[in-house]
Amino acid sequence: MNVYAVIVTYNPDIVVLNKSILALITQVNKIIIVDNCSTNDFFKKLIKYSKIILIKNEDNFGVAYALNKGVSKCLYMKADWVLTLDQDSIIGENYISKMLSAYQKIYERDKVGMLCPQYFINGKDNKHIIYNDDIYFVGEAITSGSLVKASIFNKVGMYDDSLFIDCVDYEFCLRLKMNGYRIAKVNSSILYHSMGIVREKKLFNKVIKYTTYDYLRRYYRYRNRIHIYKKNFFVSPSWVMKDLVKFFKEIIKIIITEKDWIFHLKFILIGIIDGVRGKRGKMNYTI
């Protein structure tokens, strides 16, 4: 069974990336690193790893574009499974073997297109998470840590690179569902993952933790959601309505927690307008 990993990088923290590689190196056949034109020279320190194949993009073309380059390389090298990872995600011990072992236990596993892990989010309270041998089906999973059947890409297509960044995972998961495939969550496989910048704020004598993103991420996050809503409203209306609730909850949370919430809302509004207009790709104007 050939398992290849794809990591997309952009000015990565070399210490964290090295930890990710060390966790991966004995669990996969090859590691494909696709770099989106980083300005640091981190790749010089990767020469010692014979399992690593480095692909350098001439510009930052976005996460989905880079993922597709990496996946294409995996398919060319006859991979059976493709593991996609963010540059700051680290897989747990026996991650791949637990995933594949769980897959063999699934009834009608030919209908399973993707396996995802239990997530340990850095900086957040993870006490409520139960790590066990349970396997169950979920509606969506983030790109980082997902193990995808290589054959799936030929059946449902690659990642939507017009989204550039954000919601790439949602769109791909919805496409899996539309094509009759399911996503299985393997609780025994753990991914140590970072999501944005975790901050604390005191509200009504209670300290709450929240994740913040920069303005550009807000733009892409909401623009791409509008695109996905338009594309899937009649196909998966329940998902769209459920995510719309999250959409408005996020905006309320931004107003409550962010000091410069007006600027966040400005970028969100521009993203929504561009989403309605059908604008995609890299944001190419200054605000």
What pLDDT sits at residue 122? Answer: 74
Distance (Å) of CA 65 to CA 33, 208, 274: 13, 36, 20
Residue 173 pLDDT > 80: yes
What pLDDT sits at residue 281? Answer: 92
Residue 31 pLDDT > 70: yes
- Residue with more model confidence, 164 or 42: 164
**Contact 105/186 with Cβ under 8 angstroms?**
no
Strands 182-193 and 135-138: antiparallel
Cα 125 to Cα 276: distance, rounded to the nearest angstrom: 36
Residue 121 pLDDT > 90: no
Confidence tier at 201 by pLDDT (50, 70, 90) = confident
Confidence tier at 207 by pLDDT (50, 70, 90) = confident
Region 177-184 average pLDDT: 96
When mean pLDDT is compared across 99-103, 168-172, 208-212, the lowest value belongs to 208-212
What pLDDT sits at residue 287? Answer: 58
Region 237-260 average pLDDT: 91
Confidence tier at 286 by pLDDT (50, 70, 90) = low
Where in the chain is CATH 3.90.550.10?
3-193
Confidence tier at 128 by pLDDT (50, 70, 90) = low
Residue 258 pLDDT > 90: no
Does residue 164 come out as left (phi exceeding 0), alpha (psi in the -120 to 50 range) or beta? Answer: left
Confidence tier at 42 by pLDDT (50, 70, 90) = confident
* pTM for the predicted model, two decimal places: 0.92
136-166 pLDDT tens trace: 999 999 999 999 999 999 999 999 999 999 9
53-89 pLDDT tens trace: 999 999 999 999 999 999 999 999 999 999 999 999 9
**Contact 217/147 with Cβ under 8 angstroms?**
no
Whole-number average pLDDT of the chain: 91
Cα 89 to Cα 241: distance, rounded to the nearest angstrom: 30
Class level of CATH domain 3-193: alpha beta
What pLDDT sits at residue 218? Answer: 92
